[in-house]
């Protein structure tokens, strides 16, 4: 069943307009009586029936609330230094499936790609479109958003989070294994984690020092060298395992 | 530093031939005195120096053994029902990075793609090439191999494993959360796990019944719907977390 995200908070009767209207009426050619999922800005989700279609809006009415919890108990924001090629597309799609809460992208010191102002708007819009499609397909109850920011803004954002980690390849080489588990043990439902991933060339010692001075901690993600687009998927998968699968047994 | 996998067991002086020779001499244009990693069939790995280059072989001599353990303590084989498009390429590459031990691919009942005999050989060779490159890049000490088998052969292989799981989307919907952790708790270093993933259309009730009769168990991979190419990455990431990161604290 199709899933539509809207910017308003929960209400039992909703008017869907603009892009959602276009998709329901023109693309899916849906009619009165057909059912869809509507996800609200406050992360409420309902199964709803189309009760009226006008010139400008599709009116739907709640059949039942979605009670199954699909969101990770902690909110994880993925910050990626601009990688090459189509890697951000892969990160955006797969990390959304795996429960990422939001995304930052930033020009890291070793980033080969530099986004100019003009390119940037288009690229961010395209990535947010990919995120939306992935959120629909994986039945998310929160629509993650991606924002392109400067390295300085990234550090300024640290104070919005309860913990900040740096996924650091050298940690893997040195066998750092404890930080990720320790961070998970400290964070409880509703808290916010930011994890920073370097591009292909990694983060420089200067960047790492900057982040550490601002409160971030280095965390190893196991003993194998992961590519820049694989590391966020590892992080999100293990967060799911820790908070959603093993809580009943190990914690 | 370049990494070469060879079919022989460990020896301190090695002759590299054929493809490895071609890569070292023609592609990399390496000379006496330069260093490479050599990984043997018995999963020993050494840093070695090129001591001679003849018409047909590159002779290298051990400098030191690689002592850092990069392989997952349990051996996980990923069995994927043929998916559409380039998804097997993504699974092969990323799952190798994340520590998969081996791969089976098989025609599941809902697989849209059917590989004919001729296509099959080429496709398997191409996937094994992708796996080898990923194993080199992620510094693996074991070179995973991919084999295309029939559904009947898949079930016959169950007896080679200490546990067999079915990654089952419906389990996610029904909130099955315990099986994966239970299986991890039962398996110890050196044991073998096979995990079966359906294609986009999932596994049919008949397939699942077949596998269950042969001893496989259904396991949920968290509450979000994961695509066929994402689920194996989740499984391998959480196995790494369980056996490599959290063993010192939680288990």
Per-residue pLDDT of A173-224, as tens digits, reads 666 778 999 999 999 999 999 999 999 999 999 999 999 999 999 999 998 8
Residues of A in contact with B226 (CB under 8 A): 97-98, 138
B233–A contact, CB cutoff 8 A? yes
The predicted-structure confidence for A55-82, as pLDDT tens digits, reads as follows: 999 999 999 999 888 899 999 999 999 9
A242–B contact, CB cutoff 8 A? yes
Would you write out chain B's pLDDT as a tens digit for each of its 251 residues?
Answer: 899 999 999 999 999 999 999 999 999 999 999 999 999 999 899 999 999 999 999 999 999 999 888 899 999 999 999 999 899 999 999 999 999 999 999 999 999 887 887 888 999 999 999 999 999 999 999 999 999 999 999 999 999 999 999 998 765 566 677 899 999 999 999 999 999 999 999 999 999 999 999 999 999 999 888 999 999 999 999 999 999 998 644 44
Say whether B230 and A225 touch across the interface (CB within 8 A): no
Option in A137, A140, A177 nearest B245 (CB):
A177
Give yes or no for a contact between A37 and A1, defined as CB atoms under 8 angstroms apart. Answer: yes
A28–B contact, CB cutoff 8 A? no
Name B22's Cβ contacts closer than 8 Å, sequence gap at least 6. Answer: none
A137–B contact, CB cutoff 8 A? yes
Residue A251 has pLDDT above 50, yes or no: no
The alpha carbon of residue A34 is apart from the nearest alpha carbon of chain B, in Å, by: 22
Gap between the Cα atoms of A60 and B22, Å rounded: 65
B7 phi and psi, to 5 degrees? -80, -5
Gap between the Cα atoms of B244 and A223, Å rounded: 8
Would you state the structure tokens that stand for residue B112, as one six-digit string? 């849209």
A191–B contact, CB cutoff 8 A? no
The alpha carbon of residue B14 is apart from the nearest alpha carbon of chain A, in Å, by: 25
Give yes or no for a contact between A228 and A80, defined as CB atoms under 8 angstroms apart. Answer: yes
Gap between the Cα atoms of B107 and A122, Å rounded: 40
Say whether A220 and B99 touch across the interface (CB within 8 A): no
Closest C-alpha among B94, B103, B82 to residue A93 = B94
Closest C-alpha among B69, B141, B129, B39 to residue B93 = B129
Residues of A in contact with B182 (CB under 8 A): 249
Establish, for the pair of chains A and B, how many residue pairs have beta carbons separated by less than 8 Å. 137
Task: List beta partners, residue A160.
Answer: none
Closest C-alpha among B238, B191, B216, B174 to residue B79 = B216
Would you state the structure tokens that stand for residue A194, as one six-digit string? 């930011």
Q: Could you tell me the domains of chain A?
A: 3-65 (2.40.240.20), 75-245 (3.40.1280.10)
Chain B: residue nearest A240 by CA? B222
């Amino acid at each position: 069943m199709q899933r539509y995200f809207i910017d308003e908070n929960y209400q039992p009767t909703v008017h869907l307009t603009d892009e959602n209207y276009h998709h329901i009426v023109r693309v899916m050619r849906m009619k009165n009586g057909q059912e869809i999922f509507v996800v609200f800005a406050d992360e409420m989700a309902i199964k709803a029936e189309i009760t009226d279609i006008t010139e400008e809006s599709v009116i739907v009415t709640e059949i039942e609330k979605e009670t199954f919890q699909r969101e990770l108990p902690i909110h994880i924001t993925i910050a990626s230094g601009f990688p090459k090629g189509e890697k951000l597309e892969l990160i955006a799609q797969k990390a959304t499936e795996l429960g990422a809460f939001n995304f930052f992208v930033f020009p890291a010191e070793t980033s080969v790609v530099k986004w100019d102002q003009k390119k940037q708007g288009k690229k961010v819009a395209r990535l947010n479109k990919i995120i939306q499609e992935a959120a629909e397909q994986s039945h998310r109850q929160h629509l993650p958003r991606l924002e392109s920011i400067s390295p300085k803004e990234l550090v300024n954002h640290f104070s919005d989070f309860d913990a900040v980690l740096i996924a650091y390849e050298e940690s893997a080489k040195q066998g750092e294994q404890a930080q990720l588990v320790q961070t998970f043990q400290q964070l409880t439902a509703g808290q916010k984690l930011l994890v920073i991933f370097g591009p292909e060339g990694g983060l420089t010692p200067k960047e790492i020092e900057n982040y550490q001075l601002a409160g971030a901690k280095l965390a190893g993600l196991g003993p194998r060298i992961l590519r820049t687009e694989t590391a966020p998927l590892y992080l999100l998968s293990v967060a799911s395992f820790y908070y959603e699968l093993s809580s009943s047994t190990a914690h």
